Amino acid sequence: MFDASEDRHPSAEIVAKERPELLIFSGLVGLIGCLMPLAALSWAALVTDHDFIADTVSDAARGNRKWIMDVGFYFHAAGLLGLAIAAAHAHLGRAGWSLGIFALAFLALVVVLLGLWDEFGRTSENPQGMSVHTRLTFLLGPLFVAGPLLMAKGAGGVRPAYGWAFVAAAVLWAVFAVAFKLSPDAYDGLVEKIAIAATLLWTVPLSIMMIVRGRDRMG
């Protein structure tokens, strides 16, 4: 009887395996990219009159030193895209994990557009006076909730702490993102920064997970 395994191309087994160098590189890109906005914001706060409590991240991305936060935005987008690539290569779930990958990719696109449209969007106002930049920020809400929740089960299969961290990221982001929209201008900047920091409970563990997974497969 014909054995299909005998007709298999020699490279099929190699292609099917996870590539550790891809996981490590993408994980490192994700880790650096997702931490870079914090460094950029700290730098911008030092060289401008940015009020850490009252001013938002978008406020820091305006003026003569706006390029500092723009760099942070683009690094963040690269980090999110790197995580999407790593998560697609090391697929740890079913449909939920796949949708989480798309959430990472769409977040990368939105973050790039936020950096670009802060400049271009200021020249056109819609009838309600809401800029394109502001409209784009509303896309962050559902994506930063759905992404970690969709990937929590798969991450929890690797280590339960990862799954709980993903759920915590979604819950804390949702709570503080809503609080940001309801907060007075006097301290809405601080609330927004707490919400952003909460997303690191998803992206940083995911980065570490991929780096460790790649390292374990080096042997």
| pTM given for the model | 0.87
Q: Flag the least confident range among 49-58, 71-80, 92-101.
A: 49-58
Asked whether residue 11 is assigned to any structural domain, the reply reads no
User: Domain limits at 194?
Assistant: 20-213
* pLDDT tens-digit series, residues 178-210: 999 898 889 988 999 999 999 999 999 999 999
Asked whether residue 110 is assigned to any structural domain, the reply reads yes
Asked whether residue 7 is assigned to any structural domain, the reply reads no
* pLDDT tens-digit series, residues 139-185: 999 999 999 999 999 999 999 999 999 999 999 999 999 999 898 88
Asked whether residue 5 is assigned to any structural domain, the reply reads no
Domain count of the fold of the chain: 1
Asked whether residue 89 is assigned to any structural domain, the reply reads yes
Asked if residue 215 lies in contact with residue 25, where contact means CB atoms within 8 angstroms, the answer is no
Asked whether residue 13 is assigned to any structural domain, the reply reads no
pLDDT of res. 128: 54
> DSSP letter string over 118-154?
HHHGGG---TT---HHHHHHHHHHHHHHHHHHHHHHH
Residue with tokens 């929209």: 181
Q: Which DSSP state fits 10? A: T
Q: Flag the least confident range among 36-45, 46-55, 123-132.
A: 123-132
Query: Which residue has better confidence, 9 or 42?
Result: 42
Query: Tokens standing for 163?
Result: 């799954």
Asked whether residue 139 is assigned to any structural domain, the reply reads yes
Asked whether residue 205 is assigned to any structural domain, the reply reads yes
Which residues 6+ apart lie within 8 Å of 2 measured at CB? none
